[in-house]
């Protein structure tokens, strides 16, 4: 079963339960996934990650602007989207992946950051945020 199918099932359940906010968020998710499919993209997880990131950035902007109500709504949508994503890697698991990728790529200085990041991000496969990975790689390379 694909993520689109899961979202459709959850949407039906939310509509039956009368959960208006959840219905709206699920419709948005479904729309973005279907739009990506129409454009030829088969990576549903990339779409979900992008949408979750947008929601979290919007929540931060709303908080900075003093709009707690809108920030809470955006964060709730971000959490709903996150429920369809694979579990995030722990710091220990991520550190092991970084060390292995650095050893395989031969990266030894901050100049090799791009090469190291390429290997780490491929191994992480979307289970960790790029900023978090970048920080660990930079620290490991002494940058």
Q: What are the structural domains, with CATH classification, of the chain? A: 3-82 (1.10.1510.10), 91-140 (1.10.10.410)
pTM of the model: 0.76
Residue 121 to residues 39, 62, 94, 110, 136: CA-CA distances in angstroms? 24, 30, 10, 17, 12
Question: Per the structure block, which two tokens stand in for 19?
Answer: 């959960």
Burial (CB < 10 A; 0-12, 13-18, 19+), residue 54, is middle
Q: What is the pLDDT of residues 22-79, one digit of tens each?
A: 999 999 999 999 999 999 888 888 899 899 999 999 999 999 999 999 999 999 999 9
Q: What is the pLDDT of residues 102-114, one digit of tens each?
A: 888 887 878 878 8
50 vs 63: CA distance, rounded Å: 20
Instruction: Kindly give the interhelix angle for 44-64 and 20-38, rounded to the nearest 10 degrees.
Output: 130
Closest CA to 31 of 53, 10, 7: 7
Q: How does DSSP classify residue 56? A: H
Question: Per the structure block, which two tokens stand in for 66?
Answer: 């003093």
Q: What is the pLDDT of residues 10-38, one digit of tens each?
A: 999 999 999 999 999 999 999 999 999 99
Question: Per the structure block, which two tokens stand in for 82?
Answer: 């996150």
């Amino acid at each position: 079963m694909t993520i689109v199918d899961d979202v459709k099932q959850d949407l039906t359940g939310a509509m039956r339960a009368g959960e208006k906010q959840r219905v709206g968020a699920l419709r948005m998710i479904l729309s973005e996934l279907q739009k990506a499919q129409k454009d030829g993209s088969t990576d549903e997880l990339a779409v979900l990650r992008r949408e979750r990131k947008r929601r979290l950035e919007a929540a931060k902007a709303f908080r900075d602007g003093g709009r707690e109500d809108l920030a809470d709504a955006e964060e709730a949508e971000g959490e709903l989207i996150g429920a369809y994503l694979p579990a995030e890697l722990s710091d220990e698991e991520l550190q092991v992946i970084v060390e292995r990728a650095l050893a395989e790529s031969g990266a030894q200085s901050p100049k090799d950051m791009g090469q190291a990041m390429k290997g780490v991000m491929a191994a992480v496969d979307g289970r960790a945020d790029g900023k978090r990975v970048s920080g660990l790689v930079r620290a490991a390379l002494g940058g």
